[in-house]
Structure 1
Amino acid sequence: MRSSPEAPPNYSIPGEPSQRSITVLHVDDDPDFSELVSIYLERESDSLEVVTEETVADALDCLDRVDVDCIVSDYEMPGRDGLAFFETVRERELAVPFILFTGKGSEEIASEAISAGVTDYLQKERGTDQYTVLAHRVENAVEQHYATREVERGFSALETAREGIAFLDEEGTFLYVNAAYADIFGYDRVEMVGEHWEMLYPEEHVQQVYEEILPAVPENDRWRGESVQRCKNGDRLVIDHALTYTDDGTLLCLVQDITEQKEVRQTLERERQRFEQFIDAVEVYAIFALDTEGFVTSWNRGAERLKGYEREEILGRHFSVFYPQSKAEMGYPDELLDQALAEGSIEDEGWRVRKDGSRFWGRVLITAVFDDDGTHQGFLKVTRDTTEQHERESSPDASKDLLDYALDVLDDVFYLFDPEGNIVRIGEQATVTGYSREELLAMSPLALFPPDARPQVESDIQHALETGSATTAAPILTKDGETIPFEFRKRRIIDDEGNVYVAGIGRDIRDRKRRERRLERQLTQFDEFASVLSHDLRTPLSVVRGRLELARDTGETEHFEQAEAALDRLDELIEDLAGVMREGELVSDIDTVDLAAVARSTWDSLETAGATLVVESKRSIRADEGALTRLLENLLKNAVEHGGTGSQTLSDAAVDGDEEVTVTVGDLSGGFYVADDGPGIPEAERENVFDIGSTEKSGGQGVGLASVRQLAVAHGWEISVTESEAGGARFEITDVETA
């Protein structure tokens, strides 16, 4: 027996007129009449094939053996009548159309049939015209049934999406919401459909939507941003969502709940409070808070011990009281606050003054403090007495220079320039440049930067000497010619003899840049997903609406065929989109992976006939091995299917032969590549080759390369396509972290 959902009837052989085969089960206790109905129905339409049974019991047995597309039943029959038969069919979860065709006619029976859910009711009459009517009723009912099923099947794919998806009419009323959308706001879907979007917004935010958000959608073709919305239970959520209009004025809305980020911030706030309770018990450090102008608002017992002031004596006083008078009069303490505000935090070292006038050498960290809205709240200042260490390291017998001793344990590169811009001190970590410390001390710092960055670096050094601080973002040029992105923070320092220097810390920001690029690529993917939904769904939906309307107006069944074809395309598109978006979820277990080994094992799992694999990679990379395997599988299959057939695997080099296509996996700076010697990809098509459906239009995989890009983006990688040395396609994956 066929179970729901049913598969639609098949088309006839390609090349023949487009016509469906529809199997009709006719149940009537009069065998002569049944035979007559069969003859006339099959004469009326070549698509109809009639199976007859005389009793309900026989009909139920038939349904266990035969897939039927429509049931036509008499009303009065021995044992069970037609309505009882209908109820049994529905209890079996068989949802095909059911037409009551009976000689016992009355308004009461007709009303009871329609109320029960029978698809159609037709009374037997004299003459043969009734069979023409019955044939048309059967065809229309079957076409309408399968068209409806296809629409439901298409939208069921939307139900599996993790993103909240909704459609709204021109008045702002919900036409459809998927399960994820309703779950985000705590509603059942039936509670939302037919309601206005204002139900999801606090009253004070509704006007913002009308004045700022909705006008921006038609102006920019779409809108994406954050807003505060409201759950059914009254809780407020921070929502990241995208909006766009379809051609018919339907508003498409995609949403993601980012309230969890607020919870993270709240957790950090709780940790901050715990920290404040903790630092009061730490007496090794003097820890105190300043307002935005530098006046003391609170401090711990360690500050009382180190500075010599009682709590009531220091609260409300400016922190410059802790500095020698000469530096306080020069405004040096205020310069430190300005630097901390500009750079987030700074380190400072020098002589400090206690209440009794005695001095100590202090090492200080000053950090600017902001609230959740980004408003500056003040500063946190941590000081430690390092007098003994300073005197020991400043003595003639000091075994190690202070800078070398204190900062070589850091991951960052510490350096010290004299007023002429020469390197006079540099930390051990500077060997990341490929130069030894001796080489670095003998060379100009400008030689460590590409030529186009040197004017800015030189200007920033001079700026630090003149104003007290500077920050530079520039790539370091290593000894072997590689460039590494760095951020340098510099400040002016003056020693006890009045000599002026520039001290600073250089930080390798490759990981930060990689995270920024990954986020940007993921946002681009999200925008593309919204764009595909808003644009590519328009055409098939418009075709379905138009064809169904024509079918209702004209009764011509060919319109149902066109509607179903459009629904097939809609279903394929939605499934493709869902599959591509799920690829990003596969990247979770990042580890060190041997690229060559994964490439070979992936190749061995493919049907490659006489094709050849050349593995030239000697590199291990950081990746999710399963996701990397899927990425390589798509690229290798793409090369084989577009370049020819064949099957042979080489370890490290190509061999002579007559194979149709050779695929090479090799290393490149910052990543790896997969290249072939096939026909290649025309330059005009390369920009869009990763778009969903683009390769399908040209006879390719459809979503294979879109999945490749999704897997690359989820790793934080960049992927591009160009021409290989042999004239084929070469896919380059860069921004890859090597092991």
Structure 2
Amino acid sequence: MSEDIRLLMVDDSEFFAEMTAQTLREEHGMTTFWETSAEDALAFLDDTEIDCIVSDYEMPGANGLEFLEMVTERHGDVPFILLTGRGTEEIASRAIAAGVSDYILKLEVVEDQQYQQLANRVRSAVTQRRAQRRYELLVNNTPDAVAQVAADGEIIAANPAMAEFASVSREELVGRDIVEQLPDGIGNQWLTVGQTVIEERTAQRTETEFDGRHFHNIFAPVDIRTERDTFQLIARDVTERVERERELERQNERLDEFASMVSHDLRNPLDVAEMNLSMLAEQFDERPAEFDRIEASHQRMATLIDDVLTLARQGATVEDPEPTPLEQTIQQVWPYVESGETDLVVDATGTIEADAGRFQELLSNIFRNAVEHGDAATITVNTLEDGFYVADDGRGIPESERDNVFDTGYSTADDGTGFGLAIVEQIADAHGWTVSVTASDEGGARFEITGVTYL
């Protein structure tokens, strides 16, 4: 970093100014310049961009602090290190009040050859200023409303977004009372939270609704050397997120209504049909073969109803995912799959965010697909960078059919309902995941679920 630092050394001693500049250049890699008076230094600064100024305090004409004041007036906030020959509390207090970045005893540099210490102070001052500028650039360009507020409510600083929120210019906002400047009592609400944050030294978050818009607010104590306690406020407009969540909630409610309708309007007639078939069967000494076909049709209808209900309910968006251990959940699902001679190999580890019940349904449907339709001997589950995959060594899925396997009604078996993999896709979509199918290394099917959040 030193190679990027452009430093101006100012001292009325030409020998000291030149020697210090030379040492910082040759031994510490800085680009250095030197002048012997505040006036000459100001003229130099008019034509040259500098990262840091090191100045003597006692100089003919303008002293170091007067020089700093002139620099600030003409060139803004430039890192400024003051060299003082007297380490008195009065000078130290005046230097801090004037806004110097740091100060150091000149005798320590001259007699003790503490150029390393001076170089370290320069690097620190420049690093802090560059970080501050990056922060200011970020704050000024963010759409979030940002302000620094004192405990008594005075707005110390504010970005353009906060001024827009208050419907005034930035210049009008700074220095005013937040309670008076923000509408509908919001300023009073925010100040109350900010005062608590200052007192407890702990950040807080709140939500605000104003004029049909929703804001998520962050309050944090500002930990800097200052005579006043302040807090930082960041208000983010989350209206689109809130409206999206409400729409998802309405969608989930509609899915629940549909599921209830299916359960009532389809199961009741089926129950009546099954009861009448049972009563009719009692009238025959020898059960007719047609009864078996009717009973099989009833069973298929019951399976279809169950799958339709599952499809509706599993499609509801997951709003509150919980930590779900991957390996443990897989092992819990496997015993409930009629796997026959198929073996399961689990190499997946880690914890994901998921609705545990629906995640188990997703896994069991993929497992059953491999066993019942793929004739798999071995199923393997392993992790991906942003998800996991389930691969088998069965018959696989032809490339020409892979775009259709998640369609409702698609099945390669005569007795299949065609809902199994559609349910898998619905559950993945509800989590914000993506599911796709390709060929496994063994020639079977490989289902990849991506977009998964690992904890």
TM value normalised by structure 1? 0.25
Q: Which has the higher helix share?
A: 2
Larger relative contact order (C-alpha < 8 A, sep ≥ 6)? 2
Question: TM-score, structure 2 length as denominator?
Answer: 0.39
